[in-house]
Chain A
Amino acid sequence: AQTVTQSQPEMSVQEAETVTLSCTYDTSESDYYLFWYKQPPSRQMILVIRQEAYKQQNATENRFSVNFQKAAKSFSLKISDSQLGDAAMYFCAYRRNSGGSNYKLTFGKGTLLTVNP
């Protein structure tokens, strides 16, 4: 069974600084997706960034980027120029690529990010 581990229950960062959130996962599959989702107090899960396992290039979305180390099964999220609106719970998630028939996500326990002004 796949597992996702986030070892940092809480992190804090000063506004405009950079912070890195860690995630490791365990799977025997070779083709899968990895995601970082953000959950603000409004509770709605919002996709931050997505990485396809067969792509070696690390994904980037504006101030958000990942460091994907497939052999080490590591998938960290870097947030640059942190903003107050980045404060939220961040979840790392895994999904096996089964050709579009199974969309089950396996989530980590989350990291609560606080941004200090």
Chain B
Amino acid sequence: ETGVTQSPTHLIKTRGQQVTLRCSSQSGHNTVSWYQQALGQGPQFIFQYYREEENGRGNFPPRFSGLQFPNYSSELNVNALELDDSALYLCASNPTGGDTGELFFGEGSRLTVL
């Protein structure tokens, strides 16, 4: 049990729609990052938030955006959905200070775009 929860677990959208995925981290985990894991692939880094500011981004277009809130929750928003956005989206958090390098992952939200 990592203490990171994500919702929803599964959802289906159609092309062009917008989606919001949610993540709740452990208390004290000030850094949250999001990953996209396509079927049969390793996770790809989307972006990272620290104290409600984006402070790192992978090779994803601006239609992927995020928010982080003071209560250790965060959101991933994807606009204008495309078929290739179908994937498992993983949220990961870690505490600030005492860096052990480890990330704590949620179970993911599986998005299907039709």
A and B interact physically = yes
Chain A residues packing against B (C-beta within 8 Å) = 4, 33, 35, 37, 42-47, 50, 52, 91, 93, 95, 97, 99-110
Choose among A33, A45, A101 the residue that contacts B90 (Cβ–Cβ < 8 A).
A45
Q: Report the count of interface residues on B (CB-CB < 8 A).
A: 31
Taking A50-B101, A91-B42 as contacts, is the C-beta distance between A42 and B94 under 8 angstroms?
A: no
For residue B58, which residues in chain A have a CB less than 8 angstroms away from its CB? 104
Give CA–CA (A99, B97) in the complex, Å. 9
Among B57-114, those with CB < 8 Å from A are 58, 88, 90, 92, 94, 96-97, 99-103, 105-108, 110
A88 to nearest B CB, angstroms? 13
Taking A50-B100, A50-B101 as contacts, is the C-beta distance between A103 and B94 under 8 angstroms?
A: yes
What residue in chain B is nearest A42 (Cβ atoms)? B107
Give CA–CA (A104, B88) in the complex, Å. 17
Taking A91-B42, A97-B101, A100-B97 as contacts, is the C-beta distance between A44 and B48 under 8 angstroms?
A: no
Ordered by A's residue number, 26 sampled pairs between the chains whose C-beta atoms are within 8 Å are A43-B110, A44-B106, A44-B107, A45-B90, A45-B103, A46-B105, A47-B102, A47-B103, A50-B100, A50-B101, A52-B101, A95-B101, A99-B99, A102-B56, A103-B31, A103-B33, A103-B48, A103-B94, A104-B45, A104-B56, A105-B92, A106-B45, A107-B42, A109-B40, A110-B40, A110-B42
Question: Which 10 A-B residue pairings sit nearest by Cβ, starting from the closest?
Answer: A107-B42, A45-B105, A33-B101, A100-B99, A44-B107, A43-B108, A104-B45, A109-B42, A43-B107, A107-B43
Taking A44-B106, A101-B55 as contacts, is the C-beta distance between A108 and B48 under 8 angstroms?
A: no
